[in-house]
Amino acid sequence: MDGNALKSWLEIPGNSDFTIHNLPYGIFRSRDRTPRAGVAIGDYVLDLALLAKEGLLKGPGMDAAVFSDRYLNNFMALGKPVWQAVRHRIGELLTEGNTELKAYKEEALVPRDSVEMLMPVHVGNYTDFYSSEEHATNVGKMFRGPENALMPNWKHLPVAYHGRASSIVVSGTDIIRPKGQTKAPDAPAPSFGPSKRMDFELEVAFVIGKSTQMGERISTDEAEDHIFGFVLFNDWSARDIQAWEYQPLGPFLGKNFASSISPWVVPLEALEPFRIPGRAQYPEVLPYLKYKGHHSFDIPLEVAITPDNGEETVVCRSNFKNLYWNICQQLAHHTVNGCNLEVGDMMASGTISGQAPDSFGSLLELSWGGKNAVKLKDGSERRFLEDNDSVIMRGGAEKGGIRIGFGEVRGKLLPAN
């Protein structure tokens, strides 16, 4: 699709995240439709199962049945040539002057406000990276002091840990405040109870669309052939539980209780107009982490907090480009030891923080470990999240008349059981 030349026959609001340049995939259901694949376009969802049934989505390697599945996994498994062909075909059907959808318009286009969005993919495995230098430095300063802010390995490899896939939930799912062990600095022993330092983490995750075998390595040149698309990712964190448990093996109960994702998977192709050069990396990386081309993306991100029955306050404005390690380096490192990938695997970026204080991607940083208050519009203050706070993350970019967005990922923190 020639992005600059595209215009749809469908009326799309000027501020919509879901333009004809985007065409993100999701799984939806409604009162009269079972779970199925759809594409967001303007204020509507285009029913791909219906289009496939009517023979409007055909091509080499295509299996029309995949659009009636509960998840996108089987569609993704058909491979990049099929993804590209389907995306091109959908764009063709929606482009000004095309009349092929005329007979199916009323049935094929479902108002987005009338559907329920479901988890778009079945996530078999989840990896959380730690790829923002500013975030890693901020956390290091708080816990180890400025002289030891970054660990010795940080600029030599994309640090990551394997998280819990079963507790990744779609936007709109309530999150229950977790309980666990915590230990105050002056306490002789730990105690058990609800986390008092609940936090969000602003992240972007990519979804694997092409599997590999054990022992197979993916180079930085090959990495993007395995990446289907992206979602916004809120990696909820219980900072006090995490602080007590994380040494020596890292996050466990402080992280595995919940992560939230946006329901629409934005294809990698949709981000093409927003590619930019990556961050300068020093010292020089090892050969398997070197790459060619541009694999960073200039996409503004924001986080807002809304108290119960209150007004929304934007507390963070960051950008996808604020990552030291790019997606190709992340995937190359993930598989350099022969670790196999499965379709539907999710790889999160880690908290994305910028240099300015209002671009820090977590309350841990915004409040500097709870020392500084973050003021909300209603006059209240936050150092960490309170019960019944809602956290909303958004992301989107515009350039040369092309706009794409992720929609939002939203979650409400409920009191502990």
Tell me: the pLDDT tens digits for 81-95? 999 999 999 999 999
Statement: the pTM of the whole predicted model exceeds 0.85: yes
Q: Which of 57, 127, 210, 281 is nearest to 67 (CA)?
A: 57
Name the pLDDT band for 5 (thresholds 50, 70, 90): low
How far is the C-alpha of 328 from the C-alpha of 314, rounded, in Å? 31
Sequence-ordered list of residues with C-beta below 8 angstroms from that of 337, at least 6 positions apart, any chain: none
Q: Which of 279, 316, 84 is nearest to 199 (CA)?
A: 316
Residue 162 has pLDDT above 60, yes or no: yes
Q: How many CA atoms lie within 13 A of 204 on its CB side?
A: 34
The predicted model gives 252-271 an average pLDDT of 98
Q: Is the pLDDT of residue 3 over 80?
A: no
If one counts every other C-beta atom within 10 angstroms of the C-beta of residue 154, the result is 18
DSSP 337-370: T-----TT-EEE------SSGGG-SSHHHHTTTT
Residue 280, helix vs strand vs coil: coil
Burial of 106 (C-beta count, 10 Å sphere; 0-12/13-18/19+): exposed
For position 113, what pLDDT does the model report?
A: 97
Residue 143, pLDDT score: 86
Are the CB atoms for 30 and 47 separated by under 8 Å? no
* Residues contacting residue 14 through CB under 8 Å, at least 6 positions apart: none
User: How many CB atoms neighbour CB 110 within 10 A?
Assistant: 19
Q: Which residue in the block uniquely carries the two structure tokens 């482009």?
A: 95
The confidence score (pLDDT) of residue 60 equals 87
Question: 56 with 90: CB under 8 angstroms?
Answer: no
- Longest CA pairwise span in the chain (Å): 73
Is 343 within 8 Å of 77 (Cβ atoms)? yes
298-316 residue pLDDT tens: 999 999 999 999 999 999 9
- Catalytic residue chosen out of the listed positions 21, 135, 333, 334: 135
Q: Per-residue pLDDT tens for 334-349? A: 999 999 999 999 999 9
CB distance 376 to 383 below 8 Å? no
For the stretch 110-153, pLDDT in tens is: 999 999 999 999 999 999 999 999 999 999 999 889 998 999 99
Average pLDDT over residues 382-400: 98
Say whether 135 is catalytic: yes
